[in-house]
Structure 1
């Protein structure tokens, strides 16, 4: 029981910040989750922890990983309101899976490469090399989580829920990008 009070205080503080400063709170949360996922993926792979991917995932989360989904979920709620539209869950899911996910995967791959210091040409090359594999995996593995998110998670907590799911997803992305980089290094 001694641990429950600090945890409840932390949860209460987080929810208060989420209510008072939703974008800032979601951005910081995404930064922390993305950075942690990068570190964990490197440790699991048996690599020395390199700072550039950690900073890339953290910066991406801070600038885009919390903010863009925040606005997306707000737009989805306005486009497909529960009490007005027939089959709102199905429409939100299709909108997310067929419009938002393809855009975000391309944007993420390109932006992460640029944040790691790659030039435009190298970032585009990496994007072309990984995009179809990453998008297919996204549709395959994250669709169920999006159904749960859209059906059961309150709108205010949807970005947090997907950030937590995104911890595993960021590890997957980091692993795919690292495999691609190692493959390129062996060719040279």
Structure 2
């Protein structure tokens, strides 16, 4: 699930371990599931997105909007393939420090090295995420001298992103002497 960003599996896990526990662990409140993200970000559901935004930090009202989003039909995936940045405020916001802490705690992230070259590190883990306007790359690495470190880079802006350049710069950081 983690190594291939399986959204359905992530939502099943969120339901299994209960949303409140995940929210507490990430320091968030009323965190949407990935399904609810897609519903809220669908331009056809602009009124639902406005309702989500308008309730602010009112937990009961936000939970009600998320219930409506969970019950709403999913859109055609082509809405999201067009490369348009949609509602960058509807996300899971985790600091770089929080991402690095989670990387150290989740052995599942050790299945995929991302852009890191496994030949450069005795151990390497990776988790990334993206959608139009958003890209995150996070690696937990152990150097050949046994030092563990974490590198995380995130871009969250509505302007177009040269993803290949971003990834190349990140990969270059991982090649710096360590």
What is the TM-score when the length of structure 1 is the normalising length?
0.30
Higher helix proportion (structure 1 or 2): 1
Higher strand share: 2
Higher normalized contact order (CA 8 Å, seq sep 6+, divided by chain length): 1
